[in-house]
Amino acid sequence: MTTRRQVLTTTAGLAGAIWLRPASASAEELAAAIAAFAAGAPVRAGRVTLDVAPLVENGNVVPITVTVQSPMSAADHVKAIAIFNERNPQRDVAVFGLGPRAGRATVSTRIRLATSQQLVAVAKMNDGSCWTHTVDVIVTLAACVES
């Protein structure tokens, strides 16, 4: 026999599962996207600075700057910088290819943000190591990436 308590706990659990799924699914996708970019190398925090305003008024145009601490010499340089987001329709934002001829590992662009979310910058060095910086951004006016 099903008791009132059982019914209540299962429905509460189900509602919780449904409510939580979109957020955790996108976080998993984000982790998968970073892992795919790292191609098996361990991803550590540090060396990278993702500069973006913590409170964004207009999600259609969000200026961002990524700087990586690197001498950018032939022996030690940044090969690529990737930017990922958590809750846009697609996890990728941009992938920049650099080399010793870049001189300085600093890249700026303007992006769209559909909602308040996490942004992650990942830098891949020539020795294969990967470094990241994660930033939380609050968006007041969302970009119309999806209507």
Partner 1 sequence: MARTLITMPKTAKRGELIEIRTLIAHPMETGYRHADDGSVQPRNLIRRLTCRYFDGRDDVEVFSAELFPAIAANPYVSFFTVATASGSLRFSWQGDNGFAQTESVELTVT
Q: Cβ contacts of residue 91 below 8 Å, gap of 6+?
A: 26, 29, 30, 32, 33, 84, 85
> Which residues ranging from 111 to 130 are in contact with partner 1 (CB under 8 A)?
111-113
Q: Work out which of 56, 93, 120, 142 binds partner 1, going by CB under 8 A.
A: 93
DSSP string, 105-139: -EEEEEE--SSSEEEEEEEEETTS-EEEEEEEEEE
Q: How far is the CB of 12 from partner 1 (least distance, A)?
A: 34
Q: How far, in Å, are 17, 47, 52 from residue 56 at the CA level?
A: 30, 24, 9
> Which residues ranging from 46 to 85 are in contact with partner 1 (CB under 8 A)?
60-62, 85
Query: Structure tokens of 46?
Result: 């540090």
Q: How far is the CB of 43 from partner 1 (least distance, A)?
A: 19
Q: Work out which of 31, 35, 102, 135 binds partner 1, going by CB under 8 A.
A: 102
> Which residues ranging from 128 to 147 are in contact with partner 1 (CB under 8 A)?
143-147
Report the C-alpha gap between 22 and 94 in whole angstroms.
Answer: 23
Q: How far is the CB of 53 from partner 1 (least distance, A)?
A: 14
Contacting residues toward partner 1, per CB under 8 A: 60-62, 85, 88-90, 92-99, 101-104, 106-113, 143-147
